[in-house]
Amino acid sequence: GFIGLGTMGAYMAANLSRYLESSNHGLVVHDIRRDSAEPFLAKGATWADSPRQLAEACDVVFLSLPGPKDVEAVAIAADNGLLAGLKKGAAVFDLSTNAPSMVRKLAAQFAERGCHFLDAPVSGGPTGARSGRLAIWVGGDKAAFDEHKVLLDAFADQARHIGAIGAGSVAKLVHNCAGYAIQTALAEVFTM
């Protein structure tokens, strides 16, 4: 399943969909705007009316959402969140840029239900998402990562498990800060 079909999510979901088609599996999608899902539905994907409905149909779910509060709402909304519909052993990969404290909180709630929540932020921008040339830093259960890595490889060429839950989010935040510092330093050099 894939939730969040915006700029990044749509490209990642498209690459995942191509892989699933080649292995005779289907994609289930959900977005706050159903029209974002229309290209996927036209190619045979299944629409879920809520995150819960998507979770009920899927063993693995990918989230590509704007921020921590969006991820939290989709994950644990009382009646229609993912957690209300996931089966024991299911895995959720949060591809969003999230807060380490939020992913740790969600992972603990998912673990209580026998499910896995992994932080898996991506780097590479829309161009990388389109081409499948993305880095993904994954924090969380290593066995769940290993079991589902083939799905990550369908839309990213550099998916790596880097530690406990929250490690992926920390790596992404450090990467963003370092990138900003380098851009700022280069701008200073070229304006002298």
Q: What is the DSSP string of 108-169?
A: HHHHHTT-EEEE--EESHHHHHHHT--EEEEES-HHHHHHHHHHHHTT-SEEEEEESTTHHH
Q: Of residues 43, 69, 88, 172, which has the active-site annotation?
A: 172
Active-site residue, 69 included: no
Distance CA 166, CA 77 (A): 21
Q: Which residues, 6+ apart, have CB-to-CB distance to 147 below 8 Å?
A: 91
- Positions annotated as catalytic residues are 172
